[in-house]
Structure 1
Amino acid sequence: MIKRAHVRQFLAVVDAGSFTQAAARIRVTQPALSSGIAELEKLVGALLFIRNRRQIRLTEAGGRFLPIARDLERGFRAADDFGRDNDRRATELKLGVIRSAPGELLQAIVAALRPSFAIEIIENSESELRAMLGSGRINMALVPLRSGEHGAHVMPLYEEPLVMFVAMDHPLAARIAVGPEELAAETMIARRSCEFLDATSRFFTRHGVRPRFALRSESDERCLRMVAAGIGITTAPLSLAIDGIMPLKVMGYDFRRELGLITDPAWRVLPDVAPQLAHALQMITAIAVEWRETKVDGAA
């Protein structure tokens, strides 16, 4: 008989992409996890994962079992909540947020949701948040949307370019655009929360730019304030601009992101959720329009 532990272990490996990380996530030993997956594969009569040193990926059978496992986990969660206060449960909203989401925008979104929902915010990477959304561990995620991503559960908010920010008194502040080679002698600041961090590193390396770094930080605010202080320059989405810094286009550096809200399709249609959510999303639509006009179009 398939047990909940089997389902949790299977989903943990899918979401983490490795047995080691999955074991840490659900707090079991790796041998116990491997044993549990082996038991599950015996129960379903098929191998679920292709295992090698570099990666773990689903077999064809594993891909077919995945939506079943997601549904089973949602069912287990519903059973856990059965008999509890329905009004309290229906108003809970677990909101996943990428670390590079603008704080001011997040404040406005949460203010629109707060009258109808008891909100818990979870910060994580885009990939982790998408995994959590797929397994029902969060109800909504504020993340960069992927090309062509659409549907009733997807709400695009705004699109913006990534630019180079320099201090107001920096020699390049009067320029509109520069070639990447002109930045070879600059000291830089690394935003560790940047979704394009690896791609940005490859871009500058390709152009012979191997800078000294004055700061590496997960905090966007700290990075941008240190740009304003004049100790380095950094790339960031245009809407993250603060007083004391200027945006600068780097030729060929054409990365863009589109932020949006993705909602768990099963959660959003619950009778006690749907009407409140629809009203809140109307407010968020207006917030997104104003944000785009003032923080993106107005700053370009």
Structure 2
Amino acid sequence: MELQQMRYVLAVAETNSFTRAAKQCLVVQSALSHQIARLERELGARLFERTSRRVRLTAAGRAFLPEARQCLDAAERAAARVAAEVGEIRGRLTVGVIPTVAAVDIPAVLHEFHQRHQQVRIGLKVGASADLAEQVERGAMEVAFLGLPATAHPRGVRAHELARDRLVAVVAPGHPLAGEREVDLQRLADESFVDFPAKTAGRLQSDQAFAAAGLPREVAFEVTTADLMLRLVLQGFCVGLLPSAYTPQLGGVITIPVTDAPARVEYLVWPRLGLTPAAAAFLDVLDIPASDVT
């Protein structure tokens, strides 16, 4: 069994096509098909069901896929650590971010990292804090930026606290609350809200604050991006709650301090098993000591 055969299997699984997989792997289709057939003979099982219309994984293929990914990741980590021993940082750096990260200028940091370590392949994924933490824990990404309620803490990963912040109300210029210097949760409770999906960390900090105050609220619009939240707020029929450090980059809306606002904490997290050389170099760009964890 060869690593290249595993790469071919992963490519076919991702593209659902031998033709597209061959293009992705920069080989002719016949060579890719031949190597996968060799692997199937060695394993004694078919990994793909092939028809004239589609290609899909068999049960054996679905069982093989996660183990193949782990093998390829381990091989890549081994090569990266050898390179690091001779002073070269290379490999992969996949960074996870929440939509409202504010403690760090992500594009600027990634640009600086790329300038320092051009041999590293950089990737970026946006998601909810819980999903990102889970991917970091199982090694699917090297680091992630999370935003959690002040009552929570990242689990299953190492964490460095970046910043603490409070949420502010975000309304359209023509909204009845737009002229207020500050509001409280009681004043906001009768409004229609746009917020992140239920049970996500971005939503929980607000839900917990209203629950603690004994106040109900209506979340009429659930969105996954701050951009869509902003566009809905600008229509004037709903309000939002966003971190005060994030709102300066928003245009056209009015922000109002909330006296009893929910708090949130931003973290950078990485696997408990330790940092890859690329991830360690990323922390260095951020001036975060790897030993400075919670």
TM-score normalised according to structure 2 size = 0.56
- Aligned with residue 259 of structure 1, among 266, 269, 274: 266
The match for 1:231 is 237
The match for 1:217 is 223
Q: Counterpart amino acid of 1:248?
A: I
Look up the SS of the partner of 1:109 in the other structure.
helix
- Larger relative helix fraction: 1
The match for 1:127 is 130
Give the length in aligned residue pairs: 214
The 3 A distance-change label for structure 1 pair 178 and 83 is closer
Q: Quick check: 1:192 aligned with 2:197? A: yes
Q: Distance in 1 between matches of 2:272 and 2:172?
A: 44
- Aligned with residue 138 of structure 1, among 131, 135, 141: 141
The match for 1:42 is none
Counterpart contact for 1:186–1:233, Cα < 8 Å: yes
TM-score normalised according to structure 1 size = 0.55
Moved more, 165-174 or 186-195: 186-195
Query: What is the deviation of 1:262?
Result: 1.9
| Alignment deviations for residues 81-117 of structure 1 (CA, whole Å, 9 cap, x no partner) | 4886865993310112223335983222322322323
Unaligned segments of structure 1, at least 5 residues: 1-26, 34-71, 286-300
Moved more, 95-104 or 126-135: 95-104
Q: Quick check: 1:176 aligned with 2:181? A: yes
Counterpart contact for 1:94–1:140, Cα < 8 Å: yes
Q: Distance in 2 between matches of 1:275 and 1:201?
A: 36
Counterpart contact for 2:192–2:217, Cα < 8 Å: no
Query: What is the deviation of 1:140?
Result: 0.8
Look up the SS of the partner of 1:252 in the other structure.
coil
Q: After the TM superposition, which residues 7-26 of structure 1 pair with which residues of structure 2 at under 5 Å, given as runs?
A: none
Larger Rg: 2
The 3 A distance-change label for structure 1 pair 74 and 265 is farther
Q: Distance in 1 between matches of 2:74 and 2:189?
A: 59
